[in-house]
Amino acid sequence: EIWVCGRNQEEAFERAKKMFPNNKNINLVQDQDVLDTWFSSSLLPISGLGWPLQEDFNNNGKNIFKHRHYPLSLMETGVDILFFWVARMVMICTHLSGAPPFKKILLHSIVRDSEGRKMSKSLGNVVD
């Protein structure tokens, strides 16, 4: 199984033809799960406020998202997901809305067990 990405099926098909120029029987199947968890959650600051709506775009297709509750004033999170979630939020929401999703980021500490591992139900090292 080989994965090919494109903005649409036509672009993916053209890329596949370039990858396999001798193969005349290219069959593409679109993955039904198109957003991964970190990507879709990075849209939370704007999607939770109704983005994208038609009125969020001007007649040139440029995003003009404006909302009275955007941007948020503070994002509070642990340092362990700073890159996975927070950085993606900043990059994606700034690109899509023209403004960063929050004004400040408050990083809190992470409780760890005696071996230095993050407390986790799946590890079984949480306080009961």
Collapse the DSSP code of 32 into the 3-class scheme (helix H, G, I; strand E, B; otherwise coil) and give the result.
coil
Q: How far is the CA of 74 from the CAs of 12, 81, 115, in angstroms?
A: 39, 16, 32
Cα distance between residue 32 and residue 22, in whole Å: 28
Instruction: Tell me, yes or no, if the pTM score tops 0.75.
Output: no
70-103 pLDDT, tens digit each: 888 899 998 888 888 899 999 988 888 888 999 9
DSSP 83: I
Cα distance between residue 42 and residue 81, in whole Å: 11
100-124 pLDDT, tens digit each: 999 999 999 888 889 999 888 888 8
Q: Please, are residues 50 and 67 in contact by the beta-carbon 8 Å criterion?
A: yes
Confidence of residue 126 (pLDDT cuts 50, 70, 90): confident
Looking at residue 58, what is its pLDDT? 59
Looking at residue 43, what is its pLDDT? 86
User: Other CB atoms closer than 10 Å to residue 28's CB: what's the count?
Assistant: 12
Task: Please name the amino acid found at residue 60.
Answer: N
Looking at residue 72, what is its pLDDT? 85
Residue that the structure tokens 């090919």 belong to: 4
17-75 pLDDT, tens digit each: 999 888 888 888 887 766 667 778 888 888 887 777 766 655 565 665 677 778 888 99
